[in-house]
Structure 1
Amino acid sequence: MKIYMVGGAVRDQLLGLPVTDRDWVVVGATPEQMIAQGFLPVGKDFPVFLHPETHEEYALARTERKVAPGYTGFVFHAAPDVTLEQDLARRDLTINAMAMTPEGKLIDPYGGRCDLEQRVLRHVSPAFAEDPVRILRVARLATRLAPQGFRIAPETLALMQQMVEAGEVDALVPERIWTELRRALGEDAPARFFEVLRECGALERIFPEIARLFGVPQPEKHHPEVDTGVHTLLVVNQSARLTSDLEVRFAALVHDLGKGATPRDQWPRHVGHEERGVPLVEQLCARLRVPGKYRELAVLVTRYHLYFHRAAELRSTTLLDLLEKLDAFRRPQRFEQYLVVCEADSRGRYGFEERRPPQLDILRAAYQA
């Protein structure tokens, strides 16, 4: 029996990043041997065990074979004769297909160390195309590692495009999409996630409401960036600068969906886009089974974000009416969430990134009064 640390823990250790989760592969063992040593079996589809003291995951080395469409269409083979190299071969990217012995020796059969040094995300083998979740994972990893200068290898991006064209992403279940979206929103600059999906053609298939925003103009007087899709990604990144609250970041992502439904003959103005946006937000949330607290804030911000921007023009009675609609007095925390999304919206424009909107003080003063 031989044990190796594998995957993201090895990658992050070599990059000098904090290692939060360690995954281990066990070669040459049976489930019975693992249980005899005190490991707790937890794997439903293949043999995975929790260490009795550290509670880290230890998986028996395995191979996998595609037998049906989608990310669930795999059969697995785990046995003592499966080698470490065979186990690493089934992984998505070369930088995730490295292993390390307990003594610190690196095992790198697929060139992950070289790609790490070159800052390249490259697939291990053509089998990458068998699992559509990998498109979301690569987009998320590209987002996480963007500060380190990582880029996606052209051949990997081409393979992702082929997967989209073949309809593989259409087999993704809502819960999986939401899980990866939530994780991506937790990154320091989440916009990259959506840029990657757009580059490979998956944005239109997975998040059509967001894809529709690109190419839709806004008045340059208020939006120097002009393009609504570009504005949306700027707002998402600004929200990540302002808060770690994922509900806020999600609301920032969807607050302007209504602009994608503005009739072309009305461009670049978007009168009534906030009301047009509400059913689109609800539609997206229903499709992805987004938790209620995310949906509630997203709908609230979508419906009332223009009130924030016009705060200086509003009468005191209108301001009070807004506070009541926001349920600010009973739910002050949600009022603060609303303000943060609107601040991100204001800052998410070229030239306004460092400008604190004066509307914050107006609305807070109205609340205090």
Structure 2
Amino acid sequence: MKHYLVGGAVRDHLLGLPVIDRDWVVVGSTPAEMLQAGFRSVGKDFPVFLHPESHEEYALARLERKTGPGYHGFEFSTDSSVTLEEDLSRRDLTINAIAQRDDGELVDPYNGRQDIENRVLRHVSQAFVEDPVRILRVARFMARFSHLGFTIADETLELMRHMVREGETDNLVAERVWQEMSGALQARSPDAFIRALRDCGALAVVLPEVDALFGVPQPARWHPEIDSGIHTLMVLQQASLGSEQLDVRFAALCHDLGKATTPVDILPSHHGHEKRGAALTEALCERLRVPRKTRDLGVLTARWHTHSHRARDLTPGKLTSLMQTMDVVRKPERFDQYLQVCEADARGRLGHEEGEYPQADFLRNVAEVFRKVDSAAIARETTDKSTIAERITEARTRAISQWLTQKPGSNAQD
């Protein structure tokens, strides 16, 4: 039995990045021998074991053979005769097909170290085309490493395009799409994930709602970048600079989906895009089985982001309605995330990247006024219990109106 450090641990070490997880491949062993040595079996599709002390993953060297469409259409062989080089040959990219011996010597049969030095994402073999998830993984690696200067090799990009043309991406399952997408959204440059998918044509299959934004014009007065797709990428960049949270970045990606369905005869205006965008975001989340918390922020932001932009022009009644819709009493963190996305939206425009966004502080102050109204006291003092909600709303609207009278230039008329 021989074991080698493989994959991301070797790659990240060569890149000078922190090594978080260490995975190992075992050559010349069997499941029975691993169990006898004290390892615990955790693999479902093929033999993977946890070390009895370090709890790191040790997988038997394996070969795979394509037997059907999609991610699950493979048969695996983990015979003890499988060599290290054969195991490395089934990996997606050369930078992930490097192993390290106990003495530190590298085993690099596919020149992954050279591709790391040249900052290139390159497929290991033609077997790349057999698994559509690899398209998502390449795009996710661009999200992780594009800031280091990485690009996709021309021949790899062409393979990805070929896979899209052949319909391989049609076989992607929702769980794997969301797994790779959520990882990319939390990476250094999530916009690079979208760009990579669009470059190979996969964006139209995986996220057609986002792909449809490209080429849709916006008023140059407000959006010097013109293109709605480019604006969305700029907003995603700004959101990433301001927050590492998945929910914020996802909401930034989805905030303007409604612009892709604007009637052609009213372009470049986008009247009503908020409501359409909320419905599109809801459908996208349903299709990809996006977690509820992430979905809720995305839908709310798509529907109400323009209310934040024109917050100072909203009446006390409309401000009260916005606070109620956002549930600022019970979910203050979500409201702050909403404001972060709205600020990213304002800055995600050509020439406005460093702009101020006073609307955020204005709405935080409104929320504080809203919260201070003693709704419990109003409920106790109300004889007709059917009017409690109405009376609380009226009290909150009055409180906001009174606060606004102290703000020069604000509209305090309901």
Counterpart for residue 178 of structure 2: 178
The 1-side partners of 2:301 and 2:291 are apart by 16
Counterpart for residue 83 of structure 2: 83
The 1-side partners of 2:39 and 2:354 are apart by 52
Per-residue CA deviation, residues 57-111 of structure 1 (Å, 9 max, x unaligned), is: 0001110000101111000000111000000000011111110001100010011
- 5 Å-filtered alignment, 1:232-247, equals 232-247=232-247
Per-residue CA deviation, residues 23-76 of structure 1 (Å, 9 max, x unaligned), is: 100101111111111100111111110011111100011100001011110000
The 2-side partners of 1:245 and 1:313 are apart by 30
SS in 2 for 1:46: coil
The 2-side partners of 1:269 and 1:316 are apart by 27
Q: Letter of the aligned partner of 2:64 in structure 1?
A: E
Deviates more, 1:132-141 or 1:298-307: 298-307
Counterpart for residue 167 of structure 1: 167
The 2-side partners of 1:108 and 1:291 are apart by 39
Q: Letter of the aligned partner of 2:36 in structure 1?
A: A
Deviation at 1:316, TM superposition (A): 2.5
1:343 and 2:343 equivalent? Answer: yes
The 2-side partners of 1:18 and 1:330 are apart by 38
Does the 8 A contact of 1:5 with 1:24 survive in 2?
yes
Deviation at 1:264, TM superposition (A): 1.1
The 2-side partners of 1:331 and 1:94 are apart by 45
Deviation at 1:313, TM superposition (A): 1.4
Counterpart for residue 20 of structure 1: 20
Deviation at 1:304, TM superposition (A): 0.8
Per-residue CA deviation, residues 238-269 of structure 1 (Å, 9 max, x unaligned), is: 11111111111111110111000001111110
Deviation at 1:200, TM superposition (A): 0.1
1:308 and 2:324 equivalent? Answer: no
Q: Letter of the aligned partner of 1:153 in structure 2?
A: A
Does the 8 A contact of 2:147 with 2:188 survive in 1?
no
SS in 2 for 1:75: strand
- 5 Å-filtered alignment, 1:134-149, equals 134-149=134-149
SS in 1 for 2:58: strand
Q: CA RMSD in A?
A: 0.9
SS in 2 for 1:145: helix
Q: Letter of the aligned partner of 2:364 in structure 1?
A: R
The 1-side partners of 2:36 and 2:329 are apart by 58
Deviation at 1:355, TM superposition (A): 1.6
Q: Letter of the aligned partner of 1:209 in structure 2?
A: E
SS in 1 for 2:196: helix
The 2-side partners of 1:86 and 1:334 are apart by 49
1:120 and 2:117 equivalent? Answer: no
Q: Letter of the aligned partner of 2:347 in structure 1?
A: R
Deviation at 1:4, TM superposition (A): 0.3
Q: Letter of the aligned partner of 1:207 in structure 2?
A: L
Q: Which runs of 4+ in 1 moved over 6 A?
A: none
Does the 8 A contact of 2:214 with 2:227 survive in 1?
yes
The 2-side partners of 1:314 and 1:191 are apart by 33
Deviation at 1:194, TM superposition (A): 0.4
The 2-side partners of 1:254 and 1:67 are apart by 36
The 1-side partners of 2:314 and 2:68 are apart by 58
Deviation at 1:142, TM superposition (A): 1.3
Q: How many residues align?
A: 369
The 2-side partners of 1:15 and 1:100 are apart by 15
1:94 and 2:107 equivalent? Answer: no
Counterpart for residue 259 of structure 2: 259
Q: Give the greater-gyration-radius structure (CA).
A: 2
* Structure 1: stretches of 5+ with no match in the other structure: none
Counterpart for residue 196 of structure 1: 196
Deviation at 1:321, TM superposition (A): 2.0
Q: Letter of the aligned partner of 1:18 in structure 2?
A: P
SS in 1 for 2:91: coil
Deviation at 1:236, TM superposition (A): 1.1
The 1-side partners of 2:36 and 2:53 are apart by 15
The 2-side partners of 1:115 and 1:181 are apart by 24
Q: Letter of the aligned partner of 2:360 in structure 1?
A: L
Does the 8 A contact of 1:188 with 1:237 survive in 2?
no
Per-residue CA deviation, residues 320-367 of structure 1 (Å, 9 max, x unaligned), is: 221112111222111111111111111111111122311112111212
Q: Letter of the aligned partner of 2:138 in structure 1?
A: V
Counterpart for residue 366 of structure 2: 366
Counterpart for residue 270 of structure 1: 270
The 2-side partners of 1:335 and 1:114 are apart by 47
The 1-side partners of 2:321 and 2:112 are apart by 58
Deviation at 1:277, TM superposition (A): 1.1
State the identity %. Answer: 60
TM-score, normalized by length of structure 2? 0.88
The 2-side partners of 1:293 and 1:330 are apart by 14
Deviates more, 1:317-326 or 1:194-203: 317-326
Does the 8 A contact of 2:110 with 2:124 survive in 1?
yes
Counterpart for residue 133 of structure 1: 133
Q: Letter of the aligned partner of 2:148 in structure 1?
A: Q
